[in-house]
């Protein structure tokens, strides 16, 4: 078997959807499993739809996820350049080559003329197609003489190059995911290969690049499946061997009806892009990274949307995915996106991390909120609150009381916690606290001994203590909170609470 070479070839016309990320992931997994190469190629021939910054966004997204390319616009490679806009002269060479065969021709029809035809067909309840049944009636190098064609070219009349679909041919299509099926050529239209502006279309540039870059497998979304018969005919016309193809199923909306879109993310409150993306109107859509997901959680999540092995295992490292992945196990049907499962994966990876690993991520959030960092204190807070969290930001949100003294209290909490003797109880507790080493176990023993010696229920001590420290009747173990806050801050908060009541 020759070297496996796969490519992910996005168009920089906007943010990279997680469906595209999954396509990149499956390409990467196959390449690495079979000891091959993962190539990133930017398909930017549609200059009118390019979005500023989109190319960098795509590359940054893949790098964040650890899907590092062996060849790309960033790292280069022996088949550079890897941007189609920098390969125009290559396409011109091959368009001249295909024009020397019977499989391509020049078409001089204007857009206005074709629009008129479409409307005429619509009025008859038909759909116009430039192809086998119509091309012999239109303005092209099939119907015009060589002299007429040359005259039009000499006069600067714009033209496109179209592929000439063979008549009455059965095209056998083989797909790793979809199986084998047959398409009749008469159902296809004569696609434009080269536009009047001198740029190739996706169809032509795609097969030229895949051939020249020695791509062995084309793994892409199922929206490209209808183009596969044309691409096979193009390979045949150029006398090139076609790669193997695999068309991946859609990622569906959570309710299952239709392709997952940005609107679904807005509706359900989850990201559909890997990183934050600001569109041309200035609106920013949150990404998985900024939402708080770990890259390994996103990789694990996406790998299992449309693929699973016979063991139905759920947790995979990237190395395990490389070992286990098999294109033959990819489902033909679309798979629903499950937002709750995404959170579950992130929770798993958060709990697996050492507390010290989380400190830098936690401190990033602190700094964004203008809170000074204290590595010892921050590590203690993470250790206390991590098991309750799905994201690092959850730890921060649950820890706000460590950084802000409570100043107001709910009336219902005060009624529950404050009794006639609460003030004297807290004053006695403060006196005891001032004499002890402020560690959790010693604080616990001091409170317990006071409770037993004075025959005071623990609730009458712990509830007002919790309220004074946290500001609410919630939170983790009170003595641990006090140890992290420190003696001075804890006593200060208790005194402020006494003043309040």
Residue 67 · residue 24 · CB < 8 Å: yes
Residue of 262, 341, 416, 423 marked active site? 262
Active site residue 37: no
39 membership: H or E segment, kind and range: strand 37-40
364 vs 347: CA distance, rounded Å:
19
Q: Which residues contact 90 (CB under 8 A, 6 or more apart)?
A: 208, 212
292 vs 277: CA distance, rounded Å:
15
Residue 28 · residue 38 · CB < 8 Å: yes
Q: Give the residue among 414, 379, 411, 382 at the shortest CA–CA distance from 396.
A: 382
188 vs 377: CA distance, rounded Å:
67
Burial of 3 (0-12, 13-18, 19+ CB in 10 A): exposed
Burial of 203 (0-12, 13-18, 19+ CB in 10 A): middle
Residue 8 · residue 24 · CB < 8 Å: yes
Structure tokens that stand for 255 in this block = 């309710």
Q: Which residues contact 460 (CB under 8 A, 6 or more apart)?
A: 419, 421, 422, 425
CA atoms within 13 A on the CB side of 69: 22
What residues are annotated to the active site? 262
């Amino acid at each position: 078997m020759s070297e496996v070479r796969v490519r992910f070839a996005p168009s920089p016309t906007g943010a990279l959807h997680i469906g595209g990320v999954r396509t990149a992931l499956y390409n990467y997994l196959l390449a690495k499993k079979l000891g091959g190469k993962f190539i990133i190629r930017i398909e930017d021939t549609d200059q009118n739809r390019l979005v500023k910054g989109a190319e960098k966004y795509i590359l940054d997204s893949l790098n964040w996820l650890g899907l590092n390319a062996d060849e790309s616009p960033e790292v280069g490679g022996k088949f550079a350049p890897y941007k189609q806009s920098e390969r125009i002269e290559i396409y011109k060479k091959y368009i001249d080559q295909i024009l020397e065969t019977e499989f391509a021709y020049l078409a001089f029809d204007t857009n206005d003329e074709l629009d008129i035809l479409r409307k005429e067909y619509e009025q008859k309840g038909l759909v116009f197609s430039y192809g086998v049944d119509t091309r012999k009636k239109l303005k092209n190098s099939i119907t015009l003489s060589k002299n007429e064609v040359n005259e039009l070219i000499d006069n600067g009349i714009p033209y496109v190059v179209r592929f000439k679909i063979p008549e009455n041919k059965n095209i056998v299509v083989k797909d790793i995911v979809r199986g084998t099926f047959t398409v009749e050529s008469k159902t296809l239209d004569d696609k434009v290969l080269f536009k009047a502006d001198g740029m190739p279309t996706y169809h032509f540039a795609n097969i030229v690049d895949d051939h020249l870059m020695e791509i062995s497998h084309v793994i892409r979304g199922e929206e490209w499946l209808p183009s596969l018969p044309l691409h096979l005919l193009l390979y045949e016309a150029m006398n090139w061997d076609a790669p193997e193809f695999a068309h991946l199923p859609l990622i569906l909306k959570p309710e299952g009806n239709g392709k997952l879109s940005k609107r679904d993310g807005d509706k359900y409150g989850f990201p559909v892009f890997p990183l934050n993306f600001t569109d041309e109107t200035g609106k920013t859509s949150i990404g998985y990274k900024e939402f708080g997901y770990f890259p390994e959680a996103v990789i694990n999540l996406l790998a299992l949307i449309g693929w699973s092995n016979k063991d139905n295992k759920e947790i995979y490292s990237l190395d395990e995915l490389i070992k286990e992945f098999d294109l033959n196990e990819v489902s033909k049907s679309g798979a629903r996106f499950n937002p709750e499962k995404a959170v579950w994966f992130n929770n798993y990876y958060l709990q697996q991390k050492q507390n010290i690993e989380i400190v830098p991520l936690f401190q990033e959030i602190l700094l964004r909120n203008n809170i000074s960092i204290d590595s010892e204190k921050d590590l203690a807070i993470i250790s206390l609150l991590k098991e309750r969290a799905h994201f690092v930001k959850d730890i921060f949100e649950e820890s706000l009381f460590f950084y802000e003294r409570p100043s107001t209290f709910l009336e219902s909490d005060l009624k529950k916690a404050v009794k006639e003797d609460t003030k004297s109880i807290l004053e006695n507790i403060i006196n005891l606290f001032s004499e002890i080493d402020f560690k959790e176990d010693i604080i616990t023993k001091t409170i317990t001994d006071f409770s037993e010696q004075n025959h005071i229920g623990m609730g009458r001590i712990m509830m007002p203590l919790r309220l004074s420290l946290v500001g609410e009747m919630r939170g983790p173990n009170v003595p641990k909170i006090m140890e992290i806050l420190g003696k001075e801050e804890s006593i200060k908060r208790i005194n402020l609470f006494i003043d309040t009541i």
